Amino acid sequence: MNADAIRARDAALGIFWHLAPQAPAPGGTLSALTLAVKDNVDVAGMPTTAGLAAFEGRVASRDAPCVAAIRRHGVTILGKVAMHEGALGATTDLPRPCQNPLRPGFTPGGSSGGSGAAVAAGFADLAIGTDTMGSVRIPAAYCGVAGLKPTAGLVPRSGVVPLSPSLDHVGMLARTPRLAALGLQAMAGEDAADPASRPAPRGWHAVPAEPVVVHGIRIGLPQPALDATVEPAIRTAWDAAAGRLRDLGARVEAVPVPGWEPSPTRRAGLLLIEAEAAALHEALIGDPAAATPGFRAALAYGRDLTGIRLARALFRLAEARGGALRALDRCDALLLPTAPQRAFAHGSPPPHDQADFCAIANIAGLPALALPWPAADGGLPASVQLVGHPHAEALLVGLAEALSAP
Least distance from C-beta 387 to its own copies, angstroms?
Answer: 17
**Is position 279 an interface residue for its own copies (rule: CB under 8 A)?**
yes
**Contact 76/35 with Cβ under 8 angstroms?**
yes
Q: Which stretch binds its own copies (CB under 8 A): 170-178, 195-203, 332-340, 397-405?
A: 195-203
Q: How far apart are CA 155 and CA 222, in angstroms?
A: 27
- Which is closer to its own copies, CB of 89 or CB of 323? 323
**Binder to its own copies among 44, 207, 240, 305 (CB under 8 A)?**
305
- Residue span 221-260 as binding mask against its own copies, x where in contact by CB under 8 A, dash where not: -------------------------------------xx-
The verdict on whether 135 is a catalytic residue reads yes
Q: How far apart are CA 216 and CA 202, in angstroms?
A: 26
**Is position 275 an interface residue for its own copies (rule: CB under 8 A)?**
yes
**Binder to its own copies among 58, 189, 310, 390 (CB under 8 A)?**
310
Helix (H/G/I), strand (E/B), else coil: 178: helix
Q: Which residues of 232-246 are buried (b: 16+ CB within 10 A; e: fewer)?
A: ebbbbbbebbbebbe
Least distance from C-beta 303 to its own copies, angstroms?
Answer: 5
- Residue span 131-150 as binding mask against its own copies, x where in contact by CB under 8 A, dash where not: --------------------
- Which is closer to its own copies, CB of 36 or CB of 277? 277
CB count within 10 Å of CB 92 equals 33
| Single-letter amino acid, residue 131 | D
- Which is closer to its own copies, CB of 307 or CB of 349? 307
Least distance from C-beta 357 to its own copies, angstroms?
Answer: 20
Q: How far is CA 369 from the centre of its chain?
A: 9
**Is position 25 an interface residue for its own copies (rule: CB under 8 A)?**
no
- Which is closer to its own copies, CB of 164 or CB of 341? 164
**Is position 198 an interface residue for its own copies (rule: CB under 8 A)?**
yes
Helix (H/G/I), strand (E/B), else coil: 237: helix
CB count within 10 Å of CB 103 equals 17
**Is position 312 an interface residue for its own copies (rule: CB under 8 A)?**
yes
Q: How far is CA 183 from CA 34, 119, 121, 170, 171, in A?
A: 10, 13, 18, 11, 9
Least distance from C-beta 397 to its own copies, angstroms?
Answer: 26
**Is position 363 an interface residue for its own copies (rule: CB under 8 A)?**
no
The verdict on whether 31 is a catalytic residue reads no
Q: Which of 112, 115, 135, 166 is catalytic?
A: 135
- Which is closer to its own copies, CB of 104 or CB of 258? 258
Least distance from C-beta 4 to its own copies, angstroms?
Answer: 44
- Which is closer to its own copies, CB of 21 or CB of 322? 322
Helical (H) or strand (E) element with 114: helix 113-120
Q: How far is CA 105 from CA 6, 40, 282, 341, 343, in A?
A: 19, 24, 34, 16, 10
Q: How far apart are CA 401 and CA 180, in angstroms?
A: 12
Q: How far apart are CA 60 and CA 37, in angstroms?
A: 13
- Which is closer to its own copies, CB of 23 or CB of 192? 192
**Is position 165 an interface residue for its own copies (rule: CB under 8 A)?**
yes
**Is position 197 an interface residue for its own copies (rule: CB under 8 A)?**
yes
DSSP character at residue 201: P
Q: Which of 111, 112, 166, 197 is catalytic?
A: 111
| Exposure on the CB side of residue 385, measured as CA atoms within 13 A | 32
Cis status of the peptide bond prior to 95, with omega within 30 of 0:
yes
- Residue span 316-335 as binding mask against its own copies, x where in contact by CB under 8 A, dash where not: --xx-xxx-x---x------
Bridging pattern class, strands 169-174 and 146-149: antiparallel
Helix (H/G/I), strand (E/B), else coil: 107: coil
Least distance from C-beta 306 to its own copies, angstroms?
Answer: 6
CB count within 10 Å of CB 60 equals 17
Q: Note the residues at the interface with its own copies (CB under 8 A).
A: 165-166, 192, 194-199, 258-259, 271-272, 274-276, 278-280, 282, 301-312, 314-315, 318-319, 321-323, 325, 329
Catalytic machinery residues: 38, 111, 135
